[in-house]
Chains A and B, each alone.
Chain A
Amino acid sequence: MNEWEVQQLLKRLAAGDLAAFDRIYEMTFQDVYRTLSLLLVNRGDIEDVMNEVYVGMWLSLPRYDPGRPFRYWLHGLIVRKAQDWRRKAWRRLRLLKRANWAKGTDGWTDDSVLAAETRQEVLTLVRRLPYKLRVVIILRYYHDYTLEEMAELLQIPLGTVKSRHHHALKKLRRQLEERPQGKVASTDDLGTTTT
């Protein structure tokens, strides 16, 4: 993603240019969708939050700081929108009028099913982490951000990022060890030295 091109597109988008939206969508949708698929526990929420992300992007364009990389801004937005969605969980008591809902129970991600299907045990544990810790793990190991970059992106102090990262790894390790038939789990305590 070329920063200069993005800036131009965002300007056009702010001016109401739909073609610019198409281009931005094309550049970002895969990333947005996949990041959300990791952040959210319920598969059924992904499309809703994706909607919020793009709408949110448009709404917060006036506050966009061209001095910061677009990628930070986008990922920060995704994290915030996913979090807002969780906060508003109760709002989902409402019945929604939306098309294309997969019938049946397809929208429910059941961890055990997921694990069985994919044999991805660590991923299953990541999904069980508290949201704040999960975010740090996903930004660090999926997006390969450094801890410093994460602090900027999430706009929280570096110390907080470090401690969340440390906690998250510790928790994951402990859970891996506690499994009934544990496979190989790293037992060293080097959680904070990954940057």
Chain B
Amino acid sequence: MILERQLRDELKQYASSQQCPPDMHARLRQQMEQAMGKGAFRPARFRRGVMAAAISAALLLPAAAFAGNPMLADRIYGSFEQLKKKMTAVTMEQYAALAGKLSGAQAQLGEKEYARYEALLKQYVRAAYEYGNGKGYIDFDALPAEKRAEMKQLLRELQPYFDRLNGERSAKEVLSPEAFDRYIEAQMTYQTVLAQAGIEAGQRFTSQDIPAHLRDRFEKAEAVIREVSRATDPRR
């Protein structure tokens, strides 16, 4: 049973080389403490954040599927090279992962719906290429009013797709029109702050990385997004 032995050896060898980061305990402990303080506890997850920003952030997605069709990504982003020119930090692996995601979306939405989704994404990416800061975010404050309104409309139309792909309840349906508008605005603010703070899409950051004068705006936007996240949680 050569294979079995090899499996045992390799799995054990690999696993024993893996070390848990030492600060993990402190982080978890803090979460636990918070949890216990609150009694009924919902994990403090920030489930969605800015979906739209995320077209670029989509690049950060780990792929569930290995075999993504690169054509799908090329259709939206032009090509990896083209994207690389705009977002220097992006890697081929990320691009491949994105293609995997898009394949998943295609399967989930079906041809016809996917075509519509793709068309919207394309528009968004074109704008991101034009107005983005090269780090994956758009500073909406810096856009001409007309362009800003156009982008906002685009985000409104994309949102139901994101919700669907995420298996969440549709924010557009759950929220009142005013609340939905606030939600889209909050996403734009969130992205604007990150753009202004010079944060690279996909990099983790802490509130320390947000300059003090932007922090209040950021937290407010974040609170709105978080609230909607709760409202659209399919488990509710």
Contact = CB atoms under 8 A, between A and B. Distances in A.
Pairing of A with B: yes
Interface of A: 16, 18, 21-22, 25, 29-30, 32-35, 37-38, 41-42, 44-45, 47, 50-52, 54-55, 58-59, 86-101, 103-105, 108, 110, 118, 120-123, 126, 128, 137-138, 141-142, 169, 172-173, 176, 184-186, 188, 190, 194
Contacts of A96: 46, 49, 204
Interface residues of B, number: 69
Interface of B: 1-4, 6-8, 10-21, 23-25, 27-29, 31-33, 35-36, 41, 43, 46-51, 53-54, 57-58, 60-64, 66, 89, 91, 93-94, 97, 101, 104, 162, 165-167, 190, 194, 201-207, 222
Nearest to A45: B62
Contact of B166 (A50, A91, A108): A91
Contacts of B7: 122, 126, 137, 141, 172
Nearest to A55: B43
Q: Which 6 A-B pairs have the closest CB atoms?
A: A101-B204, A94-B49, A33-B20, A42-B62, A34-B15, A186-B2
Chain B interface, DSSP helix/strand/loop, else mixed: helix
Contact of B91 (A38, A108, A141): A108
Contacts of B93: 105, 108, 110
Of B11, B36, B60, B206, which is in contact with the most chain A CB atoms at under 10 Å from its CB?
A: B11
